[in-house]
Structure 1
Amino acid sequence: MGNAGQTVTPNGVARRRPRPLSPLREHLRDTFWFAPAVGLVGAAVTAVVALELDGLLIETLQREGDYDTVSSLIDLADDTKSIITTVGSAMLTFIGVVFSISLVALQMASGQFSPRVVRLYVRSRITKCTFAVFLATFLFALLVQASYQGDTDPRTVQTVPFLSSIACVVMVMVSLVLFIAYVNSTIRLMRVSHVIDRIAWESFRVLDKHGAAGAEAPALGPASAEVAHRGRAGVLRDVNIARLVRVARRYGVVLRLIPRIGDFVVPGTPVLAVHGGTGPPPRALRYTVSVGVERTFHQDLGFGLRQLSDIAQRALSPAVNDPTTAVQCLDRIVQILAAVAGRPLGALRHCDRRGTVRLVQDLPGWTDLVDLGFAEIRGCATGAPQVTRRLMAALEDLTALAPEGRRPPLLRHRELLRQAVERHVREPADREFALLPDRQGIG
């Protein structure tokens, strides 16, 4: 599967265009305001519809002369009025509790794991859904309370909040279920093993989107023009592939993304090279490059390894001294690298509907990914035999899985690890023990 709705052939050519709204969808997932805002709007619309149905129900009963039923509905609404009032005040308390739990979870994640994993909490669907439903229930209860009338005469009353009261009670029940699910999800995300598993899952999702890349960059010839970045400075988060392919087809050129996803760009930095014709005007390339303050998973193939390496380094610091967490990170790093060991890496080519290459995007190579996964952990692991043993086992396993041409980086890291242990560990028996491969570290 290619990037967001496109298939990629083994030589790295994308045959189908990606979804046009893919970057927008990912950017909205990285925000926390969108889902609660949709919940508030939905609550207001639902309240208007429910109250309108209540008015039609009373009008129909009055037209048919069924005043006894109207009186029964009035009595029932009076009984539920206290429930709705209680719901309005209780939901505000629930919102405060959820907000407090979220702040504590964010602080713990940032301090104990890595600041990069905070976005996992921001992107959590259950957290956003819980906030949205709680706020929607609170607003809905307020609107229902405002609809109560003092008139109790079944002949003259205009509306009785019967259906809206039932809807409010249903929303409360849904809120309680979501609160239980939210607490369970937050507790799971506060455990490092689940955070590491979630990072690995996100990494494989990105890997499936990218599909296979060409082993070598396509022959494009010299660039006829370059397009400079005109926006603010920041990290290149992603590019709107569908729009770039459409612009390149319209002007009959091939565009090549110069920086990689995750690179820091400043105004004036060349971001696109034009091959085969005159460059498109700047107006046609607006909103094709997204720059932000931090990296995202959307199109960043190495961001998962970056987070796992950060968590492992923090776990190996003298202040934390948690080698078991570093071993868990190595387990997932090996899993990710094993998945890409046999895949072509290099240039990803995106085509238009006719199969013509219109956009070329560079991906990290095998050596880049191996260095990202092992270099910094290896430098911090010399005093932790549990980690060095697991690292030796990881390098041996990947050496056996990787093709012959991809083994040199692994052998290099193995030799560097051996040299580092020999320098820092004095006793020969301890050195031999620290360099013995063990998939569990130390049992």
Structure 2
Amino acid sequence: MLSPLREHLRDSFWFAPVAAMVLVFLVWLGCAQLDGKIIETLQEAEAYDAVGDLVAVVSDAKTVVTTVSSAMMTFIGVVFSISLVAVQMASGQFTPRVVRIFVRSRITKATLSVFLSTFLLSLLVLTSYESETDPRLVTSVPLLQSILTLVMVGLSLLLFVVYVNSTLRLMRVSHVVDRITWDSFDVLAKMPWQENQASDFGPVTEHVVHRGRAGVLRDVNVARLVRAARRHGVVIRLLPRIGDFVVPGTPVLAVHGGAAPKGLASSVSVSIERSFHQDLGFGLRQLTDIALRALSPGINDPTTAVQCLDRITQFLAALAGRPLGAAEYRDGRKGEGAVRFVQDVPTWADLVDLGFAEIRVYSANSPQVSRRMLAGIDDLLSLAPEERREPLLRHRALLAQAVVRSTPEAADRTFALKPDRQGIG
């Protein structure tokens, strides 16, 4: 697995705009050089009429560039202020953790990057305009620079339309739930699944403790840990699970078979919030949060809870036949070689509890949700092997008991306990 640096940059909102502005600055320098060479070539050929025509064209374009430079920052402020209000509304309606979808959105970053780059480019181009109009004395005519600015303005308008559409989608629960689900499947696809997992690595010879700030274990640099373990002939095991809260002084890595390589602690990343990068249960956590918010008395939206149960069932169905409990990383390609790094992942029972336990507690009074949960559990029972049926049967029995306790009428109980994939269609 690659270094977590890419994921950290995706969770930041500054890298893409800064990189885009640096790139635009370099492109502007190139265009300025080319513009100077064009004028120099025409003057050497004594094509002063052509130089005069270029000066006239660029003078007309200057009005557009000036307008862009004065209006772009105001436009950026208005657009993103409205967008942040929309994101705040979405986080209040669904869960605060959906804000990360906005932060990681490629369209959002591309739009901000192009807007700021267009503003910077317009300022740079304005510095290239000369007051001299005599074709014999002109040293630079920003023709290519002006054309580039107009292209950037057109790109900004196009991205603005796409950005508004993307932001409106963020306010729709179906798109938010779908995005969370596919992010969860991305994590699932990156996990190294081995059918036969080794479990005995010998005694622990040394522990590595966390020395940084307290926070949530965000991810680990798997590639660096595997390389270090291979060089020293040891096996390294991550003690807390990704998503656990760790405090300074607690052991985070256990080394089997030798001394701990130097610098292992820097391979562990702790942050203030969880990330999808290596966290298999984070998607279920978000789906559950959205469902719980929908079932709260203040919102009372069981249909949203049903949509979350659809995706929870989908994700658990993909995990029903996979080995869980630990992810083992080997020092060879394609899963070959010796095991060098072991990372605990949630077990099947953990994931089933995460997906159903809290929603079950609040669904007893909502026949739509109880019917959908029963249908989802029945679907999983048909897919899961025999040894994984126990947590599903447990939740099914507890849900039935809760419905019986909260529903006095026998007919209502019978209706609420009838499995239905649409809840109440």
Which band: TM-score by shorter chain? over 0.9
Q: Distance in 2 between matches of 1:109 and 1:79?
A: 45
Counterpart among 291, 307, 310 of residue 270 in structure 2: 291
Q: Distance in 2 between matches of 1:51 and 1:286?
A: 48
| 2:60 maps to amino acid | D
Counterpart among 331, 347, 352 of residue 326 in structure 2: 347
State the shift of 1:156 in Å: 1.0
Q: Is the 8 A contact 1:213 1:346 kept in 2?
A: no
State the shift of 1:217 in Å: 5.2
- Counterpart position of 1:168: 149
Give SS of 1:287's match. helix
Give SS of 2:323's match. coil
Q: Distance in 1 between matches of 2:198 and 2:239?
A: 12
State the shift of 1:93 in Å: 2.5
- Counterpart position of 2:181: 200
- Counterpart position of 1:420: 402
List per-residue Cα deviations over 1:46-98 (Å, max 9, x = no partner): 22111111111101111111111100000111111101111112222321132
- Cα 1:408–1:330 shift into 2, 3 Å: same
Q: Distance in 2 between matches of 1:215 and 1:27?
A: 32
Counterpart among 22, 27, 30 of residue 41 in structure 1: 22
Structure 1 position 406 matched with structure 2 position 385: no
Give SS of 2:324's match. coil
- Cα 1:215–1:418 shift into 2, 3 Å: farther
Counterpart among 257, 272, 276 of residue 238 in structure 2: 257
**Equivalent residues in 2 for 1:239-318 (5 A)?**
239-281=220-262, 284-318=263-297
Q: Is the 8 A contact 1:245 1:352 kept in 2?
A: yes
Relative to the length of structure 2, the TM-score reads 0.97
- Counterpart position of 2:126: 145
Give SS of 2:4's match. helix
- Counterpart position of 1:14: none
Give SS of 1:348's match. strand
List per-residue Cα deviations over 1:29-49 (Å, max 9, x = no partner): 000011111121112112211
Structure 1 position 333 matched with structure 2 position 312: yes
List per-residue Cα deviations over 1:73-127 (Å, max 9, x = no partner): 0011111110111111222232113211321122012100001111000000000
Q: Distance in 1 between matches of 2:389 and 2:111?
A: 48
Give SS of 1:224's match. strand
Q: Is the 8 A contact 1:216 1:346 kept in 2?
A: no
Q: Distance in 2 between matches of 1:253 and 1:344?
A: 24
- Counterpart position of 2:206: 225
Counterpart among 401, 411, 418 of residue 429 in structure 1: 411
Q: Is the 8 A contact 1:214 1:345 kept in 2?
A: no
State the shift of 1:331 in Å: 0.1
- Counterpart position of 2:358: 376
Residue identity (%) = 66
| 1:46 maps to amino acid | V
- Cα 1:40–1:301 shift into 2, 3 Å: same
State the shift of 1:287 in Å: 2.4
| 2:207 maps to amino acid | E
Relative to the length of structure 1, the TM-score reads 0.93
Q: Is the 8 A contact 1:316 1:381 kept in 2?
A: yes
Q: RMSD across aligned C-alpha pairs, in angstroms?
A: 1.1
List per-residue Cα deviations over 1:268-325 (Å, max 9, x = no partner): 11111010112223xx224200000000000000000000000000000000000000
Return 5+ residue gaps in structure 1 as ranges: 1-17
Q: Distance in 1 between matches of 2:82 and 2:19?
A: 22
Structure 1 position 397 matched with structure 2 position 372: no
- Counterpart position of 1:83: 64
Matched residue pairs, number? 422
- Counterpart position of 1:363: 345
| 1:220 maps to amino acid | F
Q: Distance in 2 between matches of 1:85 and 1:223?
A: 68
| 1:296 maps to amino acid | S
Q: Distance in 2 between matches of 1:286 and 1:324?
A: 45
- Counterpart position of 1:123: 104
Q: Distance in 1 between matches of 2:286 and 2:136?
A: 68
Q: Distance in 1 between matches of 2:120 and 2:324?
A: 51
